[in-house]
Structures are given as structure tokens and as C-alpha cells.
Amino acid sequence: MSQDEARRSDAATPTMAAVAAVVGAPEFVLPWLDRFYDGEDVELLLAVGRPGEGDDAPAGLASVEPQRLERGVRRAVLDRDERGAYAPASFADRLDICAMFGGWRDIPDDVRRRLADWATDDYAASVRDDLEALKSGARYDLREIDYTYLLLPEAEAVIAAEEHVYLWPCDCRAIVGGCDKPVDVCLRFDNDRGLGLEISNERAVEILRETDVAGLTHTDYLGRSAGDKHAICNCCTDCCFPHRAASLLDAESVWPRRRHLAVIDFEECTQCGTCAERCPFAAITMSADDEPLVGAATCRGCGLCSTGCPAETIAMQPLAAPA
């Protein structure tokens, strides 16, 4: 056994096993859990997540200094609700923060790959029932199902209407690492845990346009209520959890929601093939005569073909709204 393997074995202590149970970490990551939670984190989690002696009440955090609690919230070790009460944050949330802001790069590649698959499965499980209802044609009113492709001008309009914009890394690409697309591109309109970098609306639009050039689709929660937390995600099909979950759950035809169809003006088309190269869903193919053909069933209406067309011959036609 190598020194590293021995140290990893030593790390899988009963204390770390208790932490894993509190936060819902998968068993295979237990030997590496100290890469996610330091000694102070462990004390906080066991204090808030473990019953007190002789009853079922939490041990509590009354004696813990406020700065330690704040550190726990920022690190996604603790969650704090609107009443100011603390609870253990999930391992999925802690994984997000570690992947986006470092702290897990010395974990072996095979463990990180397993974590990427675990995170995908965890996300898919959270939306499975909603997507099954959506596929069956049932009515829905849940926020997650409103995850929708936005055209570039629509995304720009969303940014223009926001008072604050915070730049975050993309947690999907940080965790999955399945492509070489840019990572620092998530445009959030609230600053959860205070970790994002506030940028101007003008800079946010610049980043949005850069992601479009890079071939990333733009998504947001279209049916969000006033004041609801949201963000413009700039997604790839290799890493994005919603795309990966939709594939796992055979829901790609209905989710993320699509509202447009690409329509090509063949009289002006130069048959350059850029649209086919740009489409991340292989919805545009080139015929034997080098004519681009749009597959209506596979077009997601993301608009990347339109923004990338040198001749500007592709229009995004609105689809009829679902009943």
C-alpha cells in the first residue's frame, strides 16, 4: 500500500463516516471526505446535525462564534434559512463550491469522474417526477420545469432588467470537465453565500455574447416569479446537468423547454455549413447538395445557428405555446 493509499484509509474514520451521514455524501468518497470538510467544518456539522444527549433535539450552535458560522455558510457546510436557523448543507452543495472554487484538484481523476456521475444522478433524481409528468402531458407549476432556452436578444434583455449581476464559475463544467468551453460564465442575479464577483450589466452582456461565440446555449427559468432567484446559465451538452439529466430520463424532446424553430432562407443561404457546425444538438445536417436541413424534432430553438450564420439567413420562428 502506498503512503497516499494508507493516508486515505486512515481518513475514513468513524467521525468522517458520521459527517457523510449528516450531509448525504456517497460512500465511495468517504476516504476523500477530508478534502471537502476540514476540522472546523466537522465540528459544525456534528454540532448541528447530531441529536443532543438524552433527547432528539439538535445539539445546537449557541456557543459557536458568529464568524465560524458565517464561514460555514460561505463554504456550503451550513445552510441558513430566513429565520436565521442553521442546518447542514448537502454534500451536493459542498461539492459545487469545492469544484467551482478549488479544493478538490488533488482527488484522483477516477474519483472525480465518479463524483460527476453521482452529481448528475442526484440532480436527475430531483427532477425525475416532474419530467415524467411533463412527458405525460400533465399540467405543471413547478419552477424547475420552466428551465428554458433563451435566444441571445432575450438573454440580453433579462440582464438589462437586473439591478445586480454576479459572475460565477459554471458548476456543471467545473464538476464534469467534459469539454474545453469557458467556465467563468454563469451570470447570477443573487449572490448566494457571497462568493460571486459583482460585475456591470454591460460586462455581463459582453460575457453573454462571448459565450454565444463559443457555442454555449443560454437558459433561464422563464416562468420565475418576481424576486425569485435565477441566473442565465451558458450551457454545453457535455457537462450541463439539465442536459445530462434529460438524456438519462429520456426527456430531451420536452426539456429544457424550447420555444423556437430555426428556419433557413434558402434563397440567401451560401451553404457554408457553419450552422451545422454550430448546432450542439446535431439538428442541422448538410444534404448531398450541401444544403442545410433543419430537423424540426431535434431543433431546440437555442439560436446558435442564427447568431453564427455569416449571411444572416436563419430566423428563429416562435412555436405555438403548449396548452
Range of the domain at 115: 110-248
Residue 125 included in any domain: yes
Total domain count, the chain? 3
Alpha carbon distances (Å) from 72 to 65, 104, 131: 11, 17, 33
- Considering the domain architecture, whether residues 54 and 94 belong to the same structural domain is answered as yes
Read off the pTM: 0.89
- Considering the domain architecture, whether residues 205 and 121 belong to the same structural domain is answered as yes
Can you give the pLDDT at residue 224? Answer: 64
Torsion of CA 12, 14, 16, 17, to 10 degrees: 90
Can you give the pLDDT at residue 53? Answer: 44
- Considering the domain architecture, whether residues 55 and 92 belong to the same structural domain is answered as yes
- Considering the domain architecture, whether residues 88 and 30 belong to the same structural domain is answered as yes
What is the distance in angstroms between the CA of the first residue and the CA of the last residue of the chain?
62
Can you give the pLDDT at residue 175? Answer: 96
Residue 168 included in any domain: yes
Tell me the per-residue pLDDT of 80-119, one tens digit each, with 9 for 90 and over: 988 888 899 999 999 999 999 987 878 999 999 999 999 9
Nearest Cα neighbor of 113 from 97, 94, 128, 99 is 99
- Considering the domain architecture, whether residues 164 and 214 belong to the same structural domain is answered as yes
Residue 255 included in any domain: no
Tell me the per-residue pLDDT of 17-53, one tens digit each, with 9 for 90 and over: 999 999 999 999 999 999 999 999 999 998 886 544 4
CATH of the domain at 307: 3.30.70.20
- Considering the domain architecture, whether residues 33 and 97 belong to the same structural domain is answered as yes
Among the three residues 63, 79, 107, which one is the final residue of a domain in this structure? 107
Can you give the pLDDT at residue 137? Answer: 79
- 3-class SS string, 223-286: CCCCCCCCEEEEECCCCCHHHHHHHHCCCCCCCCECCEEEEECCCCCCCCCHHHHHCCCCCEEE
Residues of the chain with pLDDT under 50: 1-3, 7, 51-58, 323
Residue 85 included in any domain: yes
Is 301:258 a contact under the CB 8 Å cutoff? yes
Among the three residues 226, 248, 270, which one is the final residue of a domain in this structure? 248
